[in-house]
C-alpha cells in the first residue's frame, strides 16, 4: 500500500498525459512516453498436425489464453493473437529453434537497385523508387505472390502503388549487378551472395516480417503439439526493434483444460523486459524500464527486480530509419542494484573493463537492455584468434569473485580452444558499484591507520620517554578510535550484498603469464560462447626463444667463471702452462659482441613481422632489454684480460725468482 501511495504522482501524471494525447488526435501518433507506453505484442500461434482437438476446443483455448495473458501482464501488454502465416507454418512446426528472423523473412519482398545505373544510383527508399522509376521489373512468379499479398491487404496504399508499377519481366539479377538495369523486385531468399554495386531496399509491405518489426515491440511465435500423452507448447520471443531472437521455452500440459495456463506461463518465461540507458559510467548505469509506469504488481513478468541481469544491445539507424547496426554487446551485462518504479540502477560488467554502457547518444542510436533468460545447464567458452577464428588451446581459465576479487583456477582450454563452465549451484553476490568503491577507500584508510598505530607502538617501545600521565592525549585517542569504528563500519558491507537471480561470472583467460581478456558471462544462455581474443602464439614463441637464449647466457657465464677459477688455481700452484691452456679455452668461448649480435638478429627477425599486439610488444621489449642488460653486466667484465694479466704477472714473478736463484753463490 505504501508503494502504491508513493507511485500515485507518477500514475496521475501518466493519466494526464494520456488524456492530453487523446484530446489531440493529430499528434497522437507522435507523442509516446517510454515508461507509460505498453508493449505492442503480436502472438503467432500454430497447431501441429499431431493436435486433434476440434475447432471449438481451439477457440476456447485461445479465449482462455487471452484472459490468462491479460491477468498476467495487465496494462503492460497490448496484445493481439493471429494464426502464423500459412507460408511460415511448415517452418515453425518443423523446428521452431531454427525459425529465426532470417528464415521467417525469406519471402519478404526487397527491391534490388543498382548504384551504377543513372536512374537508380540515388534511390535509397521504396517511395523514391516508385516516384523515380516508370516501372519496376518483377518475375511472373513473384508478381503472382505480390497479387496474393494485395488481395490480403487491399486497402494498403503502398502495396497498391507497388502493384501498379510492377511489370512482368525476364530481367536477370546479373543485369542489375552489372548496372544495365536500374532495379528488380524479388524476394529476400533470391538475393545473390555478392551485393557489390547494388542496394537492397526493404519494402515493409503489410504481412511481411520487416513491416512487423517496425509495427510491434515483441513477436511471440507459439507452437502447440502433442507429445505422447501430453500437450506441449513451445514459445519463442523476438524483440522487434532490436531484431533479437530469444530462446525457445517449452511447457507441458497433461490436460487440454490446463493448456492455456501453461501457455501463458511459457510466454511469461520467454518474455524479456526492456530498459533504456539514460546515463552510464564504465561501472554503473541508470536505466528506464519500458512500460514501468504501468506495472502495479511486482509479480508482473514485465517488471525487473533487484538482482536481475540484463544484456545490452545497440541499434544504429540510417537517415531513412533502416537499421545499419544491430549488435549485442559481447561479454557485457548489467546487474540491477536498485529499483524505484520505472527507474533502475545497475552495476555494469564489461569485457576487459571496457567502457560499459557509455557511448555516443543521438536520435539514430538506441542502447537498450533485455533481461537474460538462461535455458541450458552448461556453456562452453571457445577461445579463438580474433579475425581468423583459429582455436587457442592450452589457455588457463580463472574465475574472479565479484565480492572478494579472489581468483580461482578453473582449468585449461582443450585442443579445440574450448572449456565448459557449468551453471554454479551457489548463489552469486555483488555490491552496488558506489558501495564497493566506498568500501575500497575505507579499507585503504583503515590499513594506513593500522600501519600508523603499529609504527607508533614500535616508536614508544624504543623510546626512553616515560609514559604520559593518565588523561593526556585522551581526546586524540578518542578521535582515532571513532575514525576506526567508522572505517570498520564502511568495510563491513554484508547488509548491502545483493544476491543475483542468475549466476554472473567474471572469467579471466590467460596465455602463460599474459591475460588475454576478462569476460563477464552468464552460464546457461547459450551452448557455446565464442571469445575472440588476441593471438598470443607469436609472443609465446618469442618468449620461449628469449628464455632459451637467457639460459645460454647463464651457462656461458658459469663456464667463463669456472675457467677463470681454474686459471687462478693453476697460477697458485705455479702451473703456468696449464693456466695458458685454460686461457685459450676461455678465449674460444663466445664473447659479448657475438652474443649481442645474435640478440639483435633474433629481435629483428621476430619484431619486423608486425604480428604482435601492443600489449605483447611492450612485454617482449622488456624481455629483450633485460637480456641485453644481462649481457652487458656479465660478459663485459674484462675476465679474459684479467686472466691474461694474472698469467703475465705470474710469468714475471717466476722469471724474477729464477734470476734471484741463479745469482746466489
Instruction: Please say whether the beta carbons of 277 and 369 come within 8 A.
Output: yes
Burial letters 435-472, b for 16+ CB under 10 A, else e: bbebbeebeebbeeeeeeeeeeeeeeeeeeeeeeeeee
pLDDT at residue 29 tops 60: no
Instruction: Please say whether the beta carbons of 205 and 156 come within 8 A.
Output: yes
* Structure confidence at residue 582 (pLDDT): 87
Least-confidence region, from 280-284, 316-320, 368-372: 316-320
The candidate with the shortest Cα–Cα distance to 376, out of 312, 309, 307, 423, is: 423
- Residues 379, 107: Cα–Cα separation, whole Å: 34
The backbone torsions φ and ψ at residue 452, rounded to the nearest 5 degrees and listed phi first, read -65, -40
C-alpha cell at position 537 = 602464439
pLDDT over 90 percentage in the chain: 40
- Radius of gyration in angstroms for the set of CA atoms belonging to the chain, rounded to a whole number: 38
- Residues 74, 117: Cα–Cα separation, whole Å: 53
- What would the pLDDT profile of 373-421 be if each residue is shown by its tens digit? 998 899 999 999 888 889 999 899 999 999 888 999 999 999 999 999 9
Instruction: Please say whether the beta carbons of 82 and 42 come within 8 A.
Output: yes
SS3 665: coil
Spell out the domain ranges in the chain.
1-31, 106-207, 378-430+499-533, 537-659
Instruction: Please say whether the beta carbons of 607 and 538 come within 8 A.
Output: no
The candidate with the shortest Cα–Cα distance to 146, out of 162, 124, 128, 129, is: 162
The candidate with the shortest Cα–Cα distance to 194, out of 176, 169, 210, 182, is: 176
Band the pLDDT of 494: cuts 50, 70, 90: confident
pLDDT at residue 622 tops 50: yes
- Residues 173, 190: Cα–Cα separation, whole Å: 9
Q: What is the DSSP string of 172-196?
A: -HHHHHTTSSSEEEEEGGG--S--T
Average pLDDT over residues 1-20: 46
* pTM, rounded to two decimals: 0.79
The candidate with the shortest Cα–Cα distance to 398, out of 527, 525, 514, is: 514
**What architecture is domain 106-207?**
3-Layer(aba) Sandwich (3.40)
Residues 6+ apart with CB under 8 A from 26: none
Average pLDDT, the chain: 85
pLDDT at residue 606 tops 80: no
- Residues 143, 429: Cα–Cα separation, whole Å: 59
Band the pLDDT of 617: cuts 50, 70, 90: confident
- What would the pLDDT profile of 507-566 be if each residue is shown by its tens digit? 999 987 788 889 999 999 999 999 998 887 777 778 888 888 888 889 988 898 898 899
SS3 471: coil
Average pLDDT over residues 69-96: 93
Residues 6+ apart with CB under 8 A from 456: none
pLDDT at residue 472 tops 80: no
Band the pLDDT of 22: cuts 50, 70, 90: very low
pLDDT at residue 23 tops 60: no
pLDDT at residue 26 tops 50: no
CA torsion sign, 499 to 500 to 502 to 506? negative
Least-confidence region, from 248-257, 317-326, 337-346: 317-326
User: Under CATH, what is the fold of the domain 378-430+499-533?
Assistant: Immunoglobulin-like (2.60.40)
Amino acid at each position: 500500500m505504501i508503494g502504491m501511495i508513493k507511485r500515485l504522482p507518477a500514475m496521475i501524471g501518466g493519466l494526464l498525459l494520456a488524456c492530453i494525447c487523446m484530446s489531440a488526435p493529430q499528434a497522437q501518433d507522435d507523442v509516446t512516453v517510454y515508461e507509460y507506453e505498453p508493449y505492442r505484442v503480436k502472438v503467432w500461434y500454430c497447431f501441429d498436425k499431431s493436435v486433434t482437438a476440434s475447432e471449438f476446443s481451439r477457440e476456447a483455448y485461445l479465449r482462455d489464453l487471452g484472459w490468462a495473458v491479460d491477468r498476467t501482464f495487465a496494462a503492460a501488454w497490448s496484445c493481439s493473437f493471429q494464426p502464423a502465416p500459412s507460408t511460415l507454418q511448415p517452418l515453425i512446426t518443423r523446428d521452431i529453434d531454427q525459425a529465426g528472423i532470417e528464415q521467417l523473412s525469406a519471402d519478404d519482398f526487397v527491391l534490388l537497385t543498382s548504384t551504377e545505373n543513372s536512374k537508380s544510383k540515388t534511390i535509397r527508399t521504396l517511395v523514391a523508387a516508385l516516384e523515380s522509376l516508370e516501372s519496376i521489373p518483377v518475375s511472373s512468379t513473384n508478381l503472382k505472390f505480390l497479387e496474393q499479398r494485395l488481395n490480403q491487404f487491399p486497402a494498403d496504399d503502398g502495396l497498391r502503388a507497388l502493384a501498379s508499377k510492377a511489370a512482368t519481366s525476364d530481367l536477370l539479377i546479373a543485369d542489375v549487378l552489372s548496372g544495365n538495369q536500374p532495379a528488380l523486385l524479388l524476394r529476400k531468399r533470391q538475393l545473390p551472395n555478392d551485393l557489390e554495386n547494388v542496394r537492397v531496399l526493404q519494402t515493409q509491405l503489410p504481412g511481411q516480417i520487416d513491416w512487423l518489426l517496425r509495427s510491434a515491440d515483441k513477436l511471440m511465435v507459439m507452437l502447440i503439439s502433442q507429445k505422447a500423452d501430453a500437450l506441449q507448447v513451445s514459445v519463442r520471443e523476438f524483440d522487434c526493434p532490436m531484431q533479437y531472437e530469444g530462446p525457445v521455452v517449452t511447457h507441458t500440459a497433461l490436460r487440454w483444460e490446463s493448456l492455456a495456463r501453461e501457455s501463458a506461463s511459457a510466454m511469461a518465461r520467454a518474455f524479456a523486459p526492456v530498459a533504456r540507458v539514460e546515463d552510464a559510467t564504465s561501472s554503473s548505469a541508470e536505466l528506464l524500464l519500458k512500460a514501468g509506469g504501468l506495472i502495479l504488481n511486482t509479480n508482473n513478468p514485465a517488471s525487473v527486480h533487484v538482482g536481475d541481469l540484463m544484456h545490452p544491445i545497440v541499434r544504429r539507424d540510417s537517415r531513412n530509419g533502416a537499421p545499419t547496426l544491430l549488435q549485442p554487446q559481447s561479454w557485457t551485462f548489467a546487474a540491477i542494484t536498485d529499483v524505484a518504479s520505472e527507474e533502475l540502477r545497475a552495476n555494469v560488467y564489461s569485457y576487459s573493463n571496457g567502457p560499459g554502457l557509455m557511448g555516443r547518444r543521438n536520435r539514430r542510436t538506441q542502447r537498450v537492455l533485455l533481461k537474460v533468460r538462461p535455458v541450458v545447464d552448461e556453456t562452453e567458452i571457445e577461445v579463438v584468434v580474433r579475425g581468423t577464428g583459429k582455436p587457442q588451446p592450452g589457455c588457463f581459465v580463472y574465475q574472479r569473485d565479484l565480492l572478494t576479487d579472489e581468483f580461482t583456477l578453473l582449468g585449461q582450454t582443450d585442443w579445440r580452444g574450448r572449456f565448459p563452465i557449468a551453471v554454479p549451484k551457489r548463489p552469486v553476490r555483488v555490491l552496488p558499484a558506489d558501495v564497493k568503491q566506498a568500501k575500497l577507500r575505507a579499507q585503504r584508510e583503515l590499513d594506513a591507520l593500522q600501519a600508523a598505530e603499529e609504527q607508533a607502538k614500535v616508536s614508544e617501545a624504543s623510546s626512553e620517554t616515560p609514559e604520559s600521565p593518565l588523561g593526556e592525549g585522551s581526546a586524540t585517542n578518542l578521535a582515532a578510535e571513532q575514525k576506526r569504528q567508522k572505517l570498520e563500519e564502511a568495510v563491513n558491507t554484508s547488509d548491502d550484498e545483493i544476491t543475483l537471480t542468475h549466476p554472473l561470472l567474471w572469467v579471466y583467460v590467460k596465455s602463460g603469464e599474459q591475460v588475454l581478456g576478462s569476460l563477464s558471462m552468464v552460464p546457461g544462455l547459450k551452448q557455446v560462447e565464442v571469445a575472440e581474443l588476441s593471438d598470443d602464439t607469436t609472443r609465446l614463441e618469442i618468449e620461449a626463444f628469449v628464455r632459451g637464449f637467457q639460459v645460454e647466457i647463464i651457462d656461458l657465464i658459469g663456464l667463463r667463471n669456472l675457467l677463470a677459477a681454474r686459471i687462478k688455481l693453476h697460477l697458485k700452484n705455479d702451473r703456468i702452462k696449464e693456466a695458458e691452456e685454460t686461457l685459450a679455452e676461455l678465449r674460444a668461448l663466445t664473447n659479448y659482441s657475438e652474443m649481442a649480435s645474435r640478440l639483435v638478429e633474433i629481435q629483428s627477425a621476430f619484431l619486423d613481422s608486425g604480428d604482435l599486439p601492443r600489449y605483447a610488444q611492450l612485454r617482449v621489449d622488456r624481455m629483450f632489454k633485460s637480456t641485453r642488460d644481462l649481457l652487458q653486466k656479465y660478459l663485459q667484465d674484462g675476465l679474459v684480460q684479467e686472466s691474461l694479466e694474472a698469467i703475465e704477472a705470474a710469468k714475471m714473478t717466476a722469471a724474477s725468482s729464477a734470476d734471484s736463484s741463479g745469482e746466489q753463490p
